[in-house]
Amino acid sequence: KGSMFSAATIAGKIRDSFKTAVHLDPKNISARSSLMQFYLQAPSFMGGGADKAQELIVDTIKVMPTVGALLQARLDMQQDNITRAESGALAVNLNANEDDDTVNLQKNLLMGIGQTHVKAKKYIQAQKIFAEIGKRFPTYYGGMYGLGRSFQEQGNYNEAIMHFEKSLTIEATAY
């Protein structure tokens, strides 16, 4: 009784909180990323939608072009345009003093693209993405773990084990 109305009210408050955070600190990557996630997950009658996500991307590009490009790649991925998402995510070259939020945004986006390729049985593309993750983020276990999963899915267990073990040398608690 009224649960749909309650959900819409709560969703609106969540969206408004993210929007307020972005307004108060336009360079708050976490707030922009969270607002983007809201727009991609919430239905339009609750304030979500790809059009709102695109508006956020345009606004973000004005303030932080790199983050805007990564948010565009995330939207492309959400819209099943994996090729465009991949090229957009790979085109962003972060510098050594980039903030952690931007690094994590790219890292998580690339991991999602690699995992999407594995699910689609596009193992060569997945391996390229996971190898690139390993190259760009050498202290992050995800690239090696992703390579291991890709080889495992192909039945190449020796290669999979080798990459799983490498991921454990990077982070002992990796998966």
pLDDT tens digits, one per residue of 27-56: 999 999 999 999 999 988 888 999 999 999
> Count of residues for the chain?
175
Average pLDDT, the chain: 92
Neighbours of 129 (CB within 10 A): 26
Record the pTM.
0.88
pLDDT band at 73 (very low <50, low <70, confident <90, very high): very high
**78 confidence band (pLDDT: 50, 70, 90):** very high
* pLDDT reported for residue 158: 96
pLDDT tens sequence across 10-29: 777 888 899 999 999 999 99
**CA 147, CA 153: separation in Å to the nearest integer?**
10
Residue 46, pLDDT score: 84
Over residues 146-175, the mean pLDDT reads 93
Q: Using CB atoms within 10 A of its CB, is residue 84 exposed (0-12), middle (13-18) or buried (19+)? A: middle
The pLDDT of residue 8: 65
* Whether pLDDT at 1 is above 60: no
| The pLDDT of residue 5 is above 70 | no
Q: How many CB atoms lie within 10 A of CB 108?
A: 15
pLDDT tens digit string along 83-119? 999 999 999 999 878 889 999 999 999 999 999 999 9
According to the model, what pLDDT value does residue 47 have? Answer: 86
What is residue 53's predicted lDDT score, i.e. its pLDDT?
Answer: 96
Q: What is the pLDDT of residue 50?
A: 95
Cα-based distances in Å from 44 to 18, 35, 78: 16, 14, 15
CA distance 130 to 33: 23
